[in-house]
Structure 1
Amino acid sequence: MTTPIDELPLVEAGGLLFIGDPHLGSIKPGRRKDVDFGATVLGAVAQAIAVANARRLVPVFLGDIFDRPHEEDERLKTRLTRILAGCWTTPVTNTGNHDKANDMLEDCDSLALLAAGGTISVVRTSGPVCVYRIGELRVGLGATPYGQAIPTDVRDAFPEVDTVVWITHHDVALEGAYPGALEPHPIEGCAIVVNGHMHLRKPLVTCGSTVWFNTGNITQTAVDALDHVPTVFELTADCEIVPHVLDLPTGTDAFDLTGLQVAPAKPASPGEPVLRTVVEAAPTSAFVELLKSQDTLEMGRSGDGSLLREAIVARFEADGTLPEVRAAILGLWARASEQIGSAARN
């Protein structure tokens, strides 16, 4: 069971506003069209804060405020600080895997700087966070950062609350089990778990008396999010979840699909494109160029591309990809990684 905190802060609010991972960074993901990707992400955060201010909601970020633990662009951090400081109350954020270089958030991480400045309250360890009075409802908010164990019983974690909401940042099997994913489970005393980390919205899953909800990011970073509509979600005094769609580019307005969008093999509706996999649509050289464009964003995190490979394998497991397709893609990855490594050494 979760250890209770005797004196949690009590905040009067109109509701909570759950905000999926922003992934703020100065490096644009390879297929994004933005002239200034950082400005796009800041715009999404600013819109979310505007919704919170207009409705007196507490912004609750689900993690991955930054795309890299140490963001070098001081202007981005200053602009983000200014946006967060304009909120009517101090926003809360979970700690995501992209927010920290090591197992725990440290002073070398950019998110720690925001916390030290008082513009955002950062959850560093799993447990109760705050109690909110929303109308006549007393809501306990708890959180579990990435890499920490999600509790199974929180009945004694909050003093005299009507309901409990828990935020997480985990890989959760909300559309069926797959290797490495956490199976959603009942949490005694918790009504809803709101999860970040997974970039796309997922169907609600009910386990006992606990509902699991994955909101999806407010920033689309890869073409698998082509149809994802960035949305923040309000928890009302009636315990309803109300969506607020953000005004951001989506689909082909957000991504350059060169090499992915090809002529259909069979007639389709007028103007309807057919999408194929990268292996079908692009030769090795195009695959290498794609990786080069994301070199410092993805491969630079591990130095050898291992994180990118892990992401590819995770997608295989999630999609049930055929072994021959896995072999083809990983072969391209290996050759591309070798070419990029050779170019870096020369």
Structure 2
Amino acid sequence: MTIDAFGNIEVFGYDGVLAIGDTHITERTGRRIDDFSTAILGKVDQAADVAIERNLFPVHLGDLFNRARENSLELLARTAASLQRFPLPVGMGLPVVVGSHDPVETTLTDKDAMQLLATFGRVFPMGKPGKVLTLVLNSGERVGLWVTPAGSRVPERIDAEPGTHNIMFTHHDFDFNGLYPDAHELHEIEGCDLMINGHMHKATPMVLKGRTACHNPGSLARVKVDERNHKPVVSVWTPAHGLSLEAVPLKFAEHVFDMTGKEVYAADDRTLKANLPKGLSLSRFAAKYRQRDSLEAGRTDDGSVLAEELDGYFQMTAAPDNLRRYMANMLAEVVEARKAA
């Protein structure tokens, strides 16, 4: 790695790039019933294995943590150990696009977990829009790595160096042919070959806008019930891939969600009526059952179900990211205060 007098960074010795989706590292999230921190750090370790085996420069697409101020020292230590496994130049932490969950305020501060890991050299936060560095691959080809973090406008064009491949890493809501209603419309970024997006957890097909191939590979983490069918992958790019990405599947467990109140199976009405207690109608039974299930689903120690419902509301109303962050962190503070009481 070299840095010239103008602060331009050049990194040598890799064969390509590895894109790593949102991880939302935390001890427990949403309706997950497994050991979420062990599961997600296991996927981080798998991503590091792919980077090592295929000699790829790793880039995380944002939302490293589920909460900006994740304060479990044990979890932070385990996260740092996993991040240390990535093959990176001496003195450089894992490059991470600053996502919507990573800072409480508009930029990282010393109170945020990602900034703490950056201080110890485990993370290289990419929080300012623009060019970050140039990769000089073993093939001799040059690759410009650009970033548009959460809350910044994705540009219409970039000042690409002639004869280079250029990749823009983003963390935004995009429509991807209508799969995400009310999201921002995709557009060509003049001078940019690929745009690789985080934030949107479900994988979507590539969309070609002019000369820019727009990709959304999806998250490593499955934090909500509606993501249970998503299959986590990491994405490989080398010059041989052109405008495409190669999805490398990761190992994951299938059934990790509490589905209380979320799954309904069809049954014969006559059979149901025959088995009801005397005097209880089917409609009254259904009402009581729904009431019981909603109470059971809401009983969590960490406010995760409420957080899930809030997130669903924010998506329906297209609430801005700063409001989402504010409400999520307010809920986290209430939960911490309740635990301490």
Query: Separation in 2 of the partners of 1:282 and 1:69?
Result: 37
Q: Which amino acid aligns with 1:193?
A: M
Could you tell me how far 1:151 is from its partner in structure 2?
A: 1.0
- Say yes or no: does 1:29 pair with 2:44: no
Query: Separation in 1 of the partners of 2:10 and 2:104?
Result: 29
Could you tell me how far 1:11 is from its partner in structure 2?
A: 2.9
**Aligned with 2:234: secondary structure?**
strand
Query: Separation in 2 of the partners of 1:96 and 1:212?
Result: 18
Query: Separation in 2 of the partners of 1:169 and 1:133?
Result: 25
Query: Separation in 1 of the partners of 2:63 and 2:253?
Result: 20
Aligned to 1:114: 117
Q: Give a deviation string over 1:190-229, Cα, whole Å, max 9, x none.
A: 1111111011001211111111111111011111112110
1:53-202 correspondence to structure 2 within 5 Å: 53-89=52-88, 90-134=93-137, 135-154=139-158, 156=159, 158-176=160-178, 180-202=182-204
Larger Rg: 1 or 2?
Answer: 2
Q: Is the 8 A contact 1:232 1:246 kept in 2?
A: yes
1:1-346 correspondence to structure 2 within 5 Å: 7-26=8-27, 28-34=28-34, 36-89=35-88, 90-134=93-137, 135-154=139-158, 156=159, 158-176=160-178, 180-238=182-240, 239=242, 240-250=244-254, 253-264=255-266, 283-293=290-300, 295-297=302-304, 299=306, 308-309=309-310, 311-315=312-316
Could you tell me how far 1:136 is from its partner in structure 2?
A: 3.2
Query: Separation in 2 of the partners of 1:207 and 1:110?
Result: 36
**Aligned with 2:104: secondary structure?**
coil
Q: Is the 8 A contact 2:175 2:181 kept in 1?
A: no
**Aligned with 2:143: secondary structure?**
strand
Q: Which amino acid aligns with 1:33?
A: I
Query: Separation in 2 of the partners of 1:189 and 1:232?
Result: 25
Aligned to 2:279: none
Q: How many residues align?
A: 294
Q: Which amino acid aligns with 1:30?
A: G
Query: Separation in 2 of the partners of 1:99 and 1:297?
Result: 18
Query: Separation in 2 of the partners of 1:108 and 1:313?
Result: 25
Q: Is the 8 A contact 1:139 1:163 kept in 2?
A: yes
| % identical equivalent positions | 32
Q: Is the 8 A contact 1:129 1:142 kept in 2?
A: yes
Q: Give a deviation string over 1:26-50, Cα, whole Å, max 9, x none.
A: 2x2232121x211111111011011
Q: Give a deviation string over 1:58-108, Cα, whole Å, max 9, x none.
A: 111000000000111111111111121122214211011111101111111
Q: Give a deviation string over 1:266-304, Cα, whole Å, max 9, x none.
A: 8xxxxxxxxxxxx999724433443442753475xxxxx
**Aligned with 1:21: secondary structure?**
coil
Q: 1:298 to 1:117 in 2, by over 3 A?
A: farther
| TM-score, with structure 1 as normaliser | 0.77
Query: Separation in 2 of the partners of 1:47 and 1:249?
Result: 14
Aligned to 1:324: none
Q: 1:30 to 1:91 in 2, by over 3 A?
A: closer
Q: 1:314 to 1:85 in 2, by over 3 A?
A: same
Q: 1:197 to 1:281 in 2, by over 3 A?
A: farther
Q: Is the 8 A contact 1:93 1:123 kept in 2?
A: yes
Query: Separation in 2 of the partners of 1:281 and 1:11?
Result: 64
Q: Give a deviation string over 1:246-268, Cα, whole Å, max 9, x none.
A: 11113xx22232333332258xx
Query: Separation in 2 of the partners of 1:117 and 1:224?
Result: 36
Query: Separation in 2 of the partners of 1:146 and 1:280?
Result: 42
Query: Separation in 2 of the partners of 1:124 and 1:161?
Result: 27
Unaligned runs of 5+ in 1: 267-278, 300-304, 318-336
**Aligned with 2:110: secondary structure?**
coil
Q: Is the 8 A contact 1:29 1:221 kept in 2?
A: yes
Q: Is the 8 A contact 2:25 2:40 kept in 1?
A: yes
Query: Separation in 2 of the partners of 1:211 and 1:168?
Result: 13
Q: 1:223 to 1:298 in 2, by over 3 A?
A: closer
Runs of 4+ in 1 over 6 A off after TM superposition: 279-282
**Aligned with 1:293: secondary structure?**
coil
